[in-house]
Every structure is written in structure tokens, then in C-alpha cells.
Amino acid sequence: MKGSRITKRAALRLLKDAELLPLGEMADRIRKEMHPEGTVTFVVDRNINYTNVCINKCRFCAFYCDVDSPHAYLLSAEEIFRKIDETIALGGTQILLQGGLHPHLTMEYYLSLLKAIKARYPIAIHGFSPPEISYLAAKHDLTIRETLKILKEAGLDSIPGGGAEILSDRVREILSPRKIKSFTWLKVMEEAHLLGMRTTATMMFGSVEGPEDIIDHLDRIRELQDRTGGFTAFIPWSFQPGNTELGIGDWGTGIGNRKKSNPHSLSPNPVNAATAAEYLRVLALCRIYLDNIPNIQASWVTQGLKLAQIALRFGANDFGSTMIEENVVASTGVSYRVTKDDILHAIRSAGFHPAQRDTCYNVIRRF
Ligand code: SF4
């Protein structure tokens, strides 16, 4: 596909001007070439958010708490084990272990947790996104590579792509000024890939970015994937404004008014959720641009099952996780509760064959 791959300029034109249905057809053709058997995969797993305490206070996040908040929590090892027991009983093969940047947690906490989980359970640990890894490295005066190596030896299997949002420091300065910059997010992923760990990549769009920022984000991911090949999947999801600083218009730019539009945004109102058409347009563009990433995930957690079904005709070939538990998106007030049977039915009735996969996207069961 290289050589004939789409350029940034052509992608920008498509994102801004293409008609939605032809764009979807283009993405669907590419999806069919990459996955001709018509399988749509999903993983049975549970999100375990070990703490909601976070010093970053991102403006799009409704999940975090200050360390002294009455709502702050830190799960005990026993609570985490109980959640894993339930996950395994439901046929789960993976836990997604993520949390905020808790100022009191040291490497010791992470290592003993990883080792204790691995000693008890045959389960994959997909955990600690780049902001957590980079925070831990800085705390212990370690390099990113050293930190990843230590965590990997203790049992960390793969890394989720959270914390990417939009890989533009101009946008990050508005969304999450305390969070790691684009370079560091990419550096964590590159080092993880070089250590043989597989990771996913994400993009949160539909807030204050413009179409150019979306294309730059995709280009940085594609460029890293050309060098390492370590990304298993790309997961675009749209900003959910409920209960967030950004959603109420208080986002520190001096505008302070959610009804005011951003002339550089895809959306006339940058702090409202992206529409279904905007979601599908960006999703299709992701499939078209990321010719070196095999899997594109539909986000039923933010879009609901019905739109996720349509996403399967706009380039997506994976349904993500059954999400036995989900806390972060639910904090915004968006909460779609679905069972594994709902997912099987949604995939089948959209005309595809459902299959359960593992963390590395190997099919382990067909239905
Ligand atoms: S998005 Fe992550 S890093 Fe940002 S405040 Fe929420 S928990 Fe913290």
C-alpha cells in the first residue's frame, strides 16, 4: 500500500469536503481488503481503574479527584482480585488496568500489584497508559525505557493508547496543560514497541481541535508505526462533554462561553459532543489514512451500539471490549450498558461474524 498511500493534503481535503457516504464506501473497501472474511472481533475484559486521584486535572475529564476529596479512592489488592475473579468467571482474558496520576503511589505499588496478579491469574494485563508511565519514570528518576522494562518484568503485557487525545501541543495546552506533551506520548509508545510490547493508539476528537490537528495526529501515528509496527489497533472516540470543565465552557482560553464557535474546529460548537456524522467521517478517514494499522475499533462506549453497527461500514472491524466495568466515560453521564449477547447480536445483525479475540487480536473463539 505504501507508495500509493494517501497524503496529508489529500486526507485533509477528504476530511473537510468529501461526501459522507462515498467516504464511508472508500473506508469500507479498505476494511474489506484487510479483513476479507467479514469477522468483527471483540475482547472480554474489564476496566479496572485502580485510583481516581489525579494531579493532571485535564479539562475534558470527569473522572479525576484531588487526593483529599471525599470521592477519592485507591483500590486495595483484594478489591482488584475480586474484580479479576469476576472477569475470569465471565470468560475474560484481559484486564485494562489504568488510573490517575496519584502523588503517593511509588514503583513499589505497581510492581507488587503486577506480580501479585500474575502469581494468581492467567490473565493479560493491558495497563498504564503513557501519562502514568512517564509520571512513574520521573518520580523515580528513571528513563522511560528503564521504567517499561521493570514493569514488563513484573508482568505488564501491553500498553493502552490512552492519553493521546490530540497529538498537537497547541491543542494539549487547552485540553490538558499538565499532561505529557505529544513527544513524550510517542516516546513511550516507541520504547514499548522496541521492547517487544504491543500497544494501541487512540485519538479523542470533537473538542477544540481543527481538521489539520486530526490529520497531524494520524500522520504521527502512521509514521511511528512505519518504524516499529507495534500498534495493534487505532481507537478514535469523541469527546464527551458531560461533567467536564471543557463541557461547561470554562476552559481557560478567555472565551468562557460554550456557545461560541471555534473557527478551526470541525464542529460549530467545539465543546459539544461530535455528531454521529462527524464521528463516522473521522472514523472513515482513520481507516483510509492508517494503512499500516490492521485494526480500527468502533467505540460503542461513547457512541452506543446502534452507531457502532454503522461504524462497521465506515472502516471499523473491531468492537472493542465487553467492558464488564467502565468508569471513565460513565463519569461524563454517558453510560451504555451492554452484555456480550448484545454485542454478538449487534455484530451479526450488521452482517458480520462475531469472534472473541485476545489482547493481540488473535481470534480465540468464533460464535
Ligand atoms: S484524563 Fe487521565 S490524566 Fe487527565 S485528569 Fe483524567 S485521569 Fe488524569
Query: Residue 100: CB within 6 Å of ligand 1?
Result: yes
Query: Residue 239: CB within 6 Å of ligand 1?
Result: no
At 196-207, the pLDDT tens digits run: 999 999 999 998
**CA distances from residue 136 to 74, 118, 150, 173, 207 in whole angstroms, order as listed:** 17, 21, 11, 22, 28
pTM for this prediction? 0.92
Q: What is the pLDDT of residue 264?
A: 43
Length of the chain: 367
pLDDT at 261 exceeding the cut of 70: no
Q: What is the pLDDT of residue 243?
A: 73
Are the C-beta atoms of residues 284 and 6 closer than 8 Å to each other?
no
Query: Residue 64: CB within 6 Å of ligand 1?
Result: yes
pLDDT at 1 exceeding the cut of 60: no
pLDDT at 22 exceeding the cut of 80: yes
Q: Whose CA is nearest to atom 6 of ligand 1?
A: 61
Query: Which ligand 1 atom sits closest to the C-alpha of 99?
Result: 7
Instruction: Return the C-alpha torsion angle 297, 299, 305, 307, nearest 10.
Output: -90
Q: Please report which confidence band the pLDDT of residue 335 belongs to, taking 50, 70 and 90 as the band edges.
A: low
pLDDT at 268 exceeding the cut of 70: no
Q: Whose CA is nearest to atom 4 of ligand 1?
A: 58
Are the C-beta atoms of residues 186 and 167 closer than 8 Å to each other?
yes
Residue 65 is given by DSSP the state: B
Dist. CA 126 → ligand 1 center (Å): 17
pLDDT at 271 exceeding the cut of 80: no
Query: Residue 114: CB within 6 Å of ligand 1?
Result: no
At 108-132, the pLDDT tens digits run: 999 999 999 999 999 999 999 999 9
pLDDT at 251 exceeding the cut of 90: no
Those residues whose C-beta lies under 8 Å from the C-beta of residue 349, and which sit 6 or more positions away, are 309
At 337-350, the pLDDT tens digits run: 788 899 999 999 99
Q: Please report which confidence band the pLDDT of residue 273 belongs to, taking 50, 70 and 90 as the band edges.
A: confident
The identity of residue 349, as a single letter, is S
